[in-house]
Amino acid sequence: MGNIKVALCQLNFTVGDILGNTEKIIKAIEKGEKEECNFICFPELSITGYPPEDLLLRRKFIEDNLNALQKIRKNVKNSIVIVGFVNKKNNKVYNSAGIIYKGEIIGIYNKKILPNYGVFDEKRYFSKGREIGFFEINGIKFGVVICEDIWHKHGPYKKQIKNGAIYIFVLNASPYHYKKIKERERIIKEISLKYNIFLFYTNLVGGQDELLFDGQSLAVNNKGQVIKKGKPFEEEILIFSSEDKPIEIEEVNESEEIYKGLICGLRDYVYKNNFKKVVIGLSGGIDSALTATIAVDALGKENVIGIFMPSRFSSPQSYLDAKKLAKNLGIEFKIISIEKIFNSYLETLKDIFQDRPFDITEENIQARIRGNILMALSNKFGYLVLTTGNKSEMSVGYATLYGDMAGGFAVIKDLYKTMVYKIAKWRNSISPVIPENIFIKEPTAELKENQKDTDTLPPYEVLDSILKEYIENDKSYEEIVNIGFDENLIKKVLKMVDRNEYKRRQSPPGIKITPKAFGKDRRMPIINKYLKWNI
């Protein structure tokens, strides 16, 4: 078969930054050429960033991307470069790979299998390619496919192999969710072994709005053995030879992997949107504690500000826990009492409320005062407000619209409460920055006397189990009943999930971590009469 030297460029591209992305591609090509690589391969839509979404509806955007491809072409000498771009032909737009050699575009492959599920909308923008994607240069026979093409049972790589391809290059922008990596590796190794081919899988890395790309590019030999693997959530150019010896894949702790992903997603959202500092409302609870810790690890302690906003219902212990957390993290810590503002609200609304009893209205007023304070700091100092709600709370609406939901980015939005505790404990195993009392005390919103989350919700271990079945596994009420949960409890939880779609629709974006996140993954109508828990 012969030995070839390959560079897989696992890089972090920014959607719309065609100039910056192009410069990054050219620098990587220079490095690959210097290393005398036969092939230099980039991820899917490297020039435009992924996913460009409705930027693809702008003619100038596509033209600029095509001009960038020409600029890249001029910088290619002796290596075969495979780069992702947006192709346009006969008024049709394609998700494409350009194959460049000695300053010329010697071939183009247009993606055939366009995903249109979950977070993907490719059929909205792209036409289906017709090319086989087989190439031969200097006696090297190889195929090029793009992401979804490799997963389909009738994928184009099969025709490429029939034509004699020994090496298959896969350009990817494969969004992350936990437990996905092992499945990816398994499938790639099975294909390589079954068809006796070398499979080189280049994946994008970095955060783009809600989406997170993990990198972890793979090079697998024709015996189904991994010979090179990229790091998770880090830029890296993997340079290797096809005859390199197999490597052992280290088992990654799931909490560690998720935590690294959260750091990557937050850092990219902050810096790619030109923010420098973030502000967080510290309550003394586990959610704000984990959010602040992630922010410090992502941005540095000097760029994180914690605000404790007590009311008459805030316990002294909450203050002590928030203060100790801030001290452990080394972040700026400020106290802004909401009591005077709260009293002013109560006095202003006294006549119209007509002495009605204290209820959720007054609870939400407190949350909205806190949200207003954080947004005022954002406006005045240019901070990005990080909200601290988790997936369990977002699922059942245990959050205040325009209150604790007010902000620019929701870091742990896709973590169930049980996951929050698990990941926070893992982070504390590295260095114990989160005070132990935060782990052991009962969760509470502290918006009324002696309030506990369990006043409204079942224990989080039970709640999260029901939510996973309903949200991620799309189980019906009857199917969840058959699993063994209490019928009345199931009805209560499902009712809360369905009735709070309007809240989730207005929440800030957050990092996708689970297989089915709210937003692009799960698109339920707000007006919805198909409520089977109501039977």
Does 451 score more than 90 pLDDT?
A: no
| Same domain as 270, residue 206 | no
Position 16 confidence tier, pLDDT thresholds 50, 70, 90: very high
* Separation between Cα atoms, residue 146 and residue 42, nearest integer Å: 11
Terminal C-alpha separation, the chain: 65
Q: How many domains does the chain fold into?
A: 2
| Same domain as 380, residue 349 | yes
Does 535 score more than 70 pLDDT?
A: no
| Same domain as 421, residue 494 | yes
In a domain, 38, yes or no: yes
With a CB cutoff of 8 Å and minimum separation 6, the contacts of 157 are 133, 143, 145, 149, 150, 165, 168, 191, 195
Residue 154 vs residues 112, 131, 150, 165, 213: alpha-carbon distances, Å: 11, 14, 9, 16, 25
Which of residues 186, 215, 243 is at a domain's end? 243
Q: Are 384 and 409 in contact (CB under 8 A)?
A: yes
| Same domain as 452, residue 391 | yes
The predicted-structure confidence for 245-263, as pLDDT tens digits, reads as follows: 989 888 889 999 999 999 9
In a domain, 105, yes or no: yes
Query: For the residues 372-378, what does the mean pLDDT come to?
Result: 97
| Same domain as 332, residue 187 | no
The predicted-structure confidence for 68-88, as pLDDT tens digits, reads as follows: 999 999 999 999 999 999 999
In a domain, 250, yes or no: no
Structure tokens at 119: 């977070």
Element (H, E) at 495: helix 487-499
Does 448 score more than 70 pLDDT?
A: yes
Which of residues 220, 243, 266 is at a domain's end? 243
Does 14 score more than 70 pLDDT?
A: yes
| Same domain as 272, residue 207 | no
* pLDDT at residue number 405: 94
- Residue 50 domain boundaries: 5-243
Q: What is the pTM of this model?
A: 0.94
| Same domain as 326, residue 208 | no
The predicted-structure confidence for 211-235, as pLDDT tens digits, reads as follows: 999 999 999 999 999 999 999 999 9
In a domain, 251, yes or no: no
Question: Catalytic residues, which ones?
Answer: 44, 111, 147
| Same domain as 272, residue 299 | yes
| Same domain as 230, residue 183 | yes
In a domain, 234, yes or no: yes
In a domain, 248, yes or no: no
* Separation between Cα atoms, residue 138 and residue 132, nearest integer Å: 19
| Same domain as 178, residue 36 | yes
With a CB cutoff of 8 Å and minimum separation 6, the contacts of 408 are 275, 378, 384, 385, 386, 508
Residue percentage of the chain with pLDDT more than 70: 99
* pLDDT at residue number 533: 65
| Same domain as 469, residue 360 | yes
Q: What is the CATH number of the domain that holds 42?
A: 3.60.110.10
Which residues are 201's β-sheet partners?
A: 170, 218
Residue with tokens 């991307």: 65
Does 461 score more than 90 pLDDT?
A: yes
* pLDDT at residue number 1: 55
Q: 177 by DSSP, 3-state: which? A: coil
Does 347 score more than 70 pLDDT?
A: yes
Residue percentage of the chain with pLDDT more than 90: 83
* Separation between Cα atoms, residue 478 and residue 483, nearest integer Å: 9
The predicted-structure confidence for 115-140, as pLDDT tens digits, reads as follows: 887 788 898 989 999 989 999 999 99
How high does pLDDT run on average in the chain? 93
